[in-house]
Amino acid sequence: MSEWASKRFWKETSVEPRDHGFTVTLDGREVKTPAKTPLIVPTEEMAVAIAMEWKAQDERVDPLTMPCTGSANAALDKVSTQHREVVDLIAAYGGNDLICYRADGPQALIDRQEAQWDALVDWSATELSAPLKITTGIMPVDQAPTTLARFHEEVGALDAFRLTAFHDLTSLSGSLVLAFATIRGRLGPDDAWTIARIDEDWQIEQWGEDEEAAEHAEKKRQAFLHAHRFYHLC
């Protein structure tokens, strides 16, 4: 984005219908992606969110303050042109899902994982028709081919915009099942993030929190919350 708009040059920001979608204009000029693709998004709500990011810019444009614009750019320039590859990448998380790898001690951590993750394992079997096997420690466990096929089918049904958000929900949490539970309303985004962080939070409770690590974790949390919002803007 900084390559094509490092300084603010416009006064008016608008949302307009365009080609079965919506676009954002700056003084009547259509916004384009870094690859020069017309920035046409599927819903007016998403276009409004993007327009608000452009409207909020001061003298210099800061891409870091424009997450919806960035996600839309990624959907149009990257995910839409590599849909199958991105589907394969995300679906592969189902073979090593976070919630399937359990601690072998101490008992308090085992109990905490069971209390939160067992319900998601059950949910995967009933809601996604994708039963999961659980293992202890870091020993790998092979999930059933039918389960992996179901994950691939569900991920493959997502369009480029939803897939962009779902990629971040999955990669940030380390759990395909948790990402599905979040987009389908089984979990709120804040609860989902807390559940994904059980192991990390346990370590913090035992050894204290490092300031730099805490800052990094907060950035990831904000990115996760944004991905949830962007998915539902679709």
How do residues 138-158 score in pLDDT, each as one tens digit? 888 999 999 999 999 999 999
Burial class (CB in 10 A: 0-12, 13-18, 19+), 174: middle
Task: From 1, 35, 32, 28, select the one nearest 14 (Cα to Cα).
Answer: 28
Q: What is the pLDDT of residues 10-46, one digit of tens each?
A: 999 999 999 899 999 999 999 999 999 999 999 999 9
26, 13 Cβ separation under 8 angstroms: yes
Within this chain, do residues 88 and 75 fall inside the same structural domain, yes or no?
A: no
Which of 79, 96, 111 is the last residue in one of the domains?
A: 79
6 inside domain: no
2 inside domain: no
**pLDDT for the residue 5:** 55
Within this chain, do residues 104 and 162 fall inside the same structural domain, yes or no?
A: yes
Greatest alpha-carbon pair distance for the chain in Å reads 62
Within this chain, do residues 45 and 98 fall inside the same structural domain, yes or no?
A: no
Within this chain, do residues 74 and 87 fall inside the same structural domain, yes or no?
A: no
Tally of CB atoms within 10 A around 69: 23
Q: What is the full DSSP assignment across 144-166?
A: PHHHHHHHHHHHHTS-HHHHHHH
Q: How many whole angstroms separate alpha carbon 225 and alpha carbon 209?
A: 22
Task: Supply the CATH number for residue 25's domain.
Answer: 3.30.2180.10
Within this chain, do residues 34 and 95 fall inside the same structural domain, yes or no?
A: no
Mean pLDDT of the chain: 95
Q: What is the pLDDT of residues 157-199, one digit of tens each?
A: 999 999 999 999 999 999 999 999 999 999 999 999 999 999 9
Q: How many whole angstroms separate alpha carbon 199 and alpha carbon 109?
A: 8
Tally of CB atoms within 10 A around 19: 8
Within this chain, do residues 91 and 63 fall inside the same structural domain, yes or no?
A: no
Give the domain extent around 163: 83-233
**pLDDT for the residue 2:** 36
Which of 79, 112, 134 is the last residue in one of the domains?
A: 79
Within this chain, do residues 164 and 189 fall inside the same structural domain, yes or no?
A: yes
Task: Supply the CATH number for residue 139's domain.
Answer: 1.10.3580.10
Which of 29, 54, 79 is the last residue in one of the domains?
A: 79
Taking CA atoms, 113 is separated from 44, 134, 137, 214, in Å, by: 40, 12, 13, 21
Within this chain, do residues 90 and 191 fall inside the same structural domain, yes or no?
A: yes
Task: From 40, 39, 64, 65, select the one nearest 52 (Cα to Cα).
Answer: 65
Task: From 131, 133, 120, select the one nearest 184 (Cα to Cα).
Answer: 120
155, 91 Cβ separation under 8 angstroms: yes
Within this chain, do residues 137 and 37 fall inside the same structural domain, yes or no?
A: no
Q: How many domains does the chain have?
A: 2
